[in-house]
Amino acid sequence: MDQMLKGLGWFLQSALLLTGVWAGLAEAEQSSSNRCDPQAGMRFVCGPINAEDLVYLPGTQQMIASGMSDTGDGHLYLVDPGTHRYITWYPDLAVPTRWDKRHFADCPGPLNSRQFSAHGLSLLPGEGAVHRLYVTAHGAREAVEVFEVDVSTSTPTIAWVGCVVMPEGDSINSVAALADGGFLTTRISDTGPDSLQQIISGQDSGFLLEWHPGASVRRLPLTTMPAPNGLVLSADEQVLYVGSWGANYVARFIRNAAGELHEDRRLDMDFRVDNLRWSGQGTLLAAGHRLAPADACDEVLCMTHWEVAEIDAELLGKTTLMQQAPVEGFAGATVALRSKSGQGYWMGTFSGDRLVFMQAD
């Protein structure tokens, strides 16, 4: 669809969300309840496939979860932490296209939702009830896809508004929205046949990319590192934190007066750092994995445990919050969000069919 759905269209979409989808989910939960029973201190929201990243929606109690897919049938999920329920938000529901050609003039066209894999997420809060969601996406194109999210109703609505296609051969991972509508993203590796080996071996496989409306995507000098993965910014956008999955550390970058980045400090970690998130208490939450040698199992990645740690923002140290072995349906945490109540943490995974909630100690 090339035009914005207004009035009745938005109402019908919200009505569908509130009646048919949420109700259908309750039946699905009952049929799979045995697989979804709590274990090892974990409670589950079963259903979301490969929910690699999570973000809260401003002004609500709800979360968005990404859904990765190697076959191009990825999703965005809307999760209600209070009820431990979710809906498949995109593309299963009728989603309008509202292409913002002023900001995304170089986007080649609307997103092909049948060849879409959602990876990293970032929210740019708006002045009112409408916000912008940035998604690092794979599939028909390697791009940051941008959606407009309206939270003025109890069930938020979503519309695709544009994209920024990445340079040829770049594979991206996390994204951090900028106040001017631009973004930073981690280029974890190239898209060649040896990319996974580059990432695992600790080679300098990636760097940061930056984009602003009206400009081209550019590589940021002095940001080369082994498999840069998670990325968050300070409120003033002058300090960046990047997790190196390839070399087990978190780096802090500072912008100087000329706008250039330089690495200021580094904290060595004892696990492979995936996504980073602010805790809401001035610290960082890092989720990641511990791996055994490749010949220890029949999988590409021999994961022994996953871990969530809280990091001092000055990168002076970390505290381990939880450490767990993989379980059925949840290979390992890739992101952690502190619950709105402060009583626990939500985790997503790159491989599995559920989200995890664990109480805080």
**Is 9 in a helix, a strand, or coil?**
helix
Give, for 134, the enclosing helix (H) or strand (E). Answer: strand 130-139
What DSSP string runs through 308-356?
A: EEEEETTSS-EEEEEEE--BTTB--EEEEEE-TTSSEEEEEESSBSEEE
Q: Could you tell me if residue 348 is left (phi over 0), alpha (psi between -120 and 50 degrees) or otherwise beta?
A: beta
Asked if 265 and 252 count as a contact pair (C-beta separation under 8 A), the reply is yes
Give 176-230 pLDDT, tens digit per residue: 999 999 999 999 999 888 888 888 888 899 999 999 999 999 999 999 999 999 9
Q: In what order do the strands lie in the sheet with 85-90?
A: 54-56, 63-67, 75-80, 85-90
Q: According to the model, what pLDDT value does residue 245 have? A: 96
Question: Minimal CA–CA distance to 115: which of 142, 146, 96, 155?
Answer: 142
Residue (of 253, 316, 313) closest to 280 by Cα position: 313
Q: Peptide bond before 58: cis, by omega within 30 degrees of 0?
A: no
The pLDDT, as a whole number, for residue 211 is: 98
> How many CB atoms within 10 Å of residue 97?
16
Residue 26: its pLDDT value, please? 36
Alpha carbons within 13 A on the beta-carbon side of 70: 2
Which position has the token pair 């409120």? 235
**Can you say how many angstroms the Cα of residue 217 is from the centroid of all Cα atoms in its chain?**
20
Peptide bond into 91 cis (omega under 30): yes
Best CA proximity match to 301, nearest among 171, 196, 194: 196
Tell me what pLDDT residue 24 has.
Answer: 32
* Residues 252 and 241: beta-carbon distance below 8 Å: yes
Ranges under pLDDT 70 in the chain: 1-33, 94
220 within 8 A of 209, measured Cβ to Cβ: yes
Cα separation, 358 vs 204, in Å, equals 34
Domain coordinates of the chain in residue numbers? 272-361
User: What is the reported pLDDT for 298?
Assistant: 76
Residue with tokens 């050609």: 101
Instruction: Indicate the DSSP class of residue 97.
Output: B
Distance CA 184, CA 317 (A): 25
pLDDT given at position 342: 87
Q: State the number of CA atoms in the 13 A half-sphere of 179 facing the CB.
A: 7
In this prediction, residue 305 carries a pLDDT of 95
10 φ/ψ angles, rounded to the nearest 5 degrees:
-65, -40
Per-residue pLDDT at 206: 96
Contact yes or no for 99/162 (Cβ under 8 A): yes
pLDDT for the residue numbered 9: 30
How far is the C-alpha of 122 from the C-alpha of 146, rounded, in Å? Answer: 10
